[in-house]
Structure 1
Amino acid sequence: MKIMLLTHSFTPEISPPQRRWSIIVDELGQLGHEVTVVTPKSNRIPSKQQRRLLDSSYLRLQHYPSMQRSKTMLGKVLKHGIDAVLSVPTAFKGKKPDIIIATVPAIPTLIVGFVASRLRGVPLVVDLRDAWPDLLSESQVIKFRWLEPVISRLISFLVNRSDMLVTVTHGLARKMEKNGVENIATISNGVETDGPERSVDTRANDGEFHILYLGNIGRSQGLETVIRAMEHVPGSVCLRIVGQGTEKNKLMRLATDLGVEVDFQNPVYGQEVLENYAWADTCIVSLRPDWPSFSHTVPSKLYELLYLNQHVTGLVRGEAAEIIRDSKAGAVIEQDVDALVDYIKNVVADPEVLQTDHRGPAWVMKHASLREAGREYAKLLTTVIDVDSKR
């Protein structure tokens, strides 16, 4: 099977779609399939493990030029749009594939995937990782009111005309089914479970309570709740926020205005991520409470935390909350300052509740292996091609 993948981020970049698709592509290759990845050119130096994938015989990268990254939401939207235009000629290079996969939420990638599939006469699979188009209206990322419904209808039009829609959560699949999409499958997100073993040192009890948030610092996370809670917790509580995003400066100003001490740090990778986890007693996973789509959204970071046996404090609801409860490796807290303050005070008084007893890794091995996701994808793509060939 010859597969073409259109994605705005792939190895050696470091991002949620890169982590998902690098492993799935590797598994597809191990199963004997050829994968062509159309993606922006990267200036990052690949790691040894990434180099193994990039040098494999079953992977072919087709790069196109890309705009420089932007820290603003508008800049990101413009970047995705311009990158998509630049990707069009690249999507038509080389041998005709048997099937095309377009990853979303880079919405312009969906348009390019649709056009390429129609002009090349092959089926299209849409890999939907966020709750579009609903999230588009909730986030109000598009400032022109007349434009948002136009783009929402365009997304719905393209998704409904794909040959298969793949969602990463069951709730999103049910939502899309209610919206009229017929061919839907769910292949969950997860982590690499067959790679080199990674372990996190256990933090010694020193009388302090360390809370860590590590990841994107944007509007979606709603981290204001965590900052405001720091006003009312014992002095032994330390909060560290590691990452970058559109809301970071705003949160830093909020902490200053409230007079609370928060250790803001720049993004980290590799071993430094593990060192931050070793510093933490619990790790925050947060999605703002006022966007309904987040009821069927699961942050990809949650799977990593569980796999690395980290205790999770979840300011989430819906499927993400269900995962934390089902794994028994953390606590789900109401997305409210008072509720979070009460929780922190209780944990400080009784830190034994933070013991996970390796329940998180066991849950991930059973439910969230990206290797298994790759095998599921291979079966699904074969089915889609077979159905298309009989039309």
Structure 2
Amino acid sequence: MMDFPVFDGHNDFLLRLYNAPDRREELWLKGETDASGKTVGHLDLPRMRQGGFAGGLFAIYIPSPIAHDSADYQALMDTPPYDLPLPDLIDARGAQPVALSMAAHLHWMARAAPDDFTLCTTATQIRAAMADGRIAGVMHMEGAEAISPNLDELPLWHAMGLRSIGPVWSRPTVFGDGVPFRYPGDPDTGPGLTDAGRALVRACAEMRIMLDLSHMNEAGFNDVARISDGPLVATHSNAHAVTPSTRNLTDRQLAMIAESGGLVGLNFATSFLRPDGRQSPAMDWDPVMRHLDHLLAHLGEEGVGLGSDFDGATIPEGIGDVTGLPALLQAMIRHGFGAELVEKIAHRNWLALLHRIWGA
């Protein structure tokens, strides 16, 4: 067994806490169980420990009025082709209370388990937490709805610990447009960044807040690449050449990420892994390895990490939840990846990238 600690580029655990604030202690410190006693969800502190989860980006995400995790949507995504409608823009006034609540939950996680979890704002802090055996959490915003077009709130969010932001989730924001959930399809789905979006990119560069291009359409991606001179990053995306979903990255985009010295975190969502685009978790390791092979071929060994989408997606049955991370690493070893490469993908590439962007 060659198990390495994992730094993960994306999870939605804060949404679970937001949806059940009266049970957050149980969800975080013990784990949620159903009526039969079976543990549900993908993340909690005991299972993170068991799976070697050493840290990651914890997403603040504003739930959509359209329930993309509803049974109807799940059924549609398991029977391609599909093209799911997206809700309208959510303004800052509507988004801010939700976003602040999720940020408060993240800070509470550190207070509730100070010996086990630390909220980090630098790569140095992440390394120190990992060395001390504490899980390193980073505040990320998936969709910048909680920030006004004038960006007045951005310094406040930075002061609260925000170090990574995706200007859009799939629905539009005042900053730009995301991709719809469509299979088959490509990310060329609409206009690029707005004036406010271009200002947000520049402000994040000045404040050394990482920009996440996952969910962004191709025109917006191109705008970020033109404006930014830093690494291009997609925290939880896969290869369009393997699975032709709008959410996956084309070879041209991968080339731009590689040229910038950026990184792509492999998304565990089955609908973005399976070549047939289905949602079903019944799959073997072959699609996962096909995506990893393709990403490595286009990005190099320093350009690939993990971006699980735990608690935000259906994931392969071979992983199951965070305790399945060692099984994934072992599958890489069996596939022929050397131990050094597996360790890079597991955490070293993410930590090196964050150090380059944050400067510390």
TM-score tier, shorter chain, comes to 0.3 to 0.5
After TM superposition, the score normalised by the length of structure 1 is 0.35
After TM superposition, the score normalised by the length of structure 2 is 0.37
Q: Over alpha carbons, which structure has the higher Rg? A: 1
